[in-house]
Amino acid sequence: MIENLDDLKGYADALAKRVPSIAGRVKINEPGLSADDLSRLSALNLPPIYERCVSMFSLFGIAVGYFSMWPGSIKTGHMVEALLQANAGNYSGAQEARNACLLVVAQEEANLVCVTRANGNDPDVVYLLDVMRSPTIERQSLAPNFEKFLLLAGNLHDIGRKCSGDAKEGIAKMVECCQYFGCTADQAAFWVSRAEIVLS
């Protein structure tokens, strides 16, 4: 199991060496955002664990498993611009996030991954805004905080790779991860559903 951020960085580094063609998309570099960068984002009310993660790691342009760890287009060129643009838009996902005191920080395909802002209830809790399945945006809780979200995303990818052909074992491992990281029943249901897709 990928238990902590050092494990995740090691996993990503190993993946980059094993598949050099995607190294630029998966290798996690340090450090992340500077104090000046963070000051430019002060109006967004970054929650503390998310802020620590993006200060520690450079996540712009990086995928952890099936999730892009920055919002919007790679053409923005930098995490600061990506965060500012994604959270200033008038598209329905951004409006939904603002109304719920959420900050758009990452993506699963077109779906938006958000953290609760520092000034919201339960800061740092991670949610998915599903904009792909129906005209109504559905919100689902993913993880207790962004660090645990990163680790769950890494474990999902690792389980999909190691347990290909053995869905029962892979799902059991995903359940174990959810228990280890203190996921709620709703959060665990999300990860198990994604494991079922990956292992099918």
Q: What number of CA atoms fall less than 13 Å from residue 17's CA on the CB side?
A: 6
Question: Is residue 155 one of the residues assigned to a domain?
Answer: no
Question: Is residue 22 one of the residues assigned to a domain?
Answer: yes
Tens digit of each residue's pLDDT (9 = 90 or more) over 78-103: 999 999 999 997 888 899 999 999 99
pLDDT at 134 over 80: no
Question: Is residue 89 one of the residues assigned to a domain?
Answer: yes
Q: How many domains does the chain divide into?
A: 1
Domain that holds residue 87: 5-146
CATH number at residue 17: 3.40.1580
Separation of alpha carbons 16 and 26, rounded Å: 6
Q: Grade residue 133 by pLDDT with cuts at 50, 70 and 90.
A: confident
Question: Is residue 35 one of the residues assigned to a domain?
Answer: yes
Q: Give the chain's mean pLDDT.
A: 96
Among 55, 79, 52, which Cα is nearest to 68's?
79
Question: Is residue 158 one of the residues assigned to a domain?
Answer: no
Separation of alpha carbons 189 and 199, rounded Å: 15
Question: Is residue 183 one of the residues assigned to a domain?
Answer: no
Q: What is the dihedral of CA 17, 19, 20, 24, to 10 degrees?
A: -90
Q: What is the pTM for the complete model shown?
A: 0.97
Do 38 and 83 contact (CB within 8 A), yes or no? no
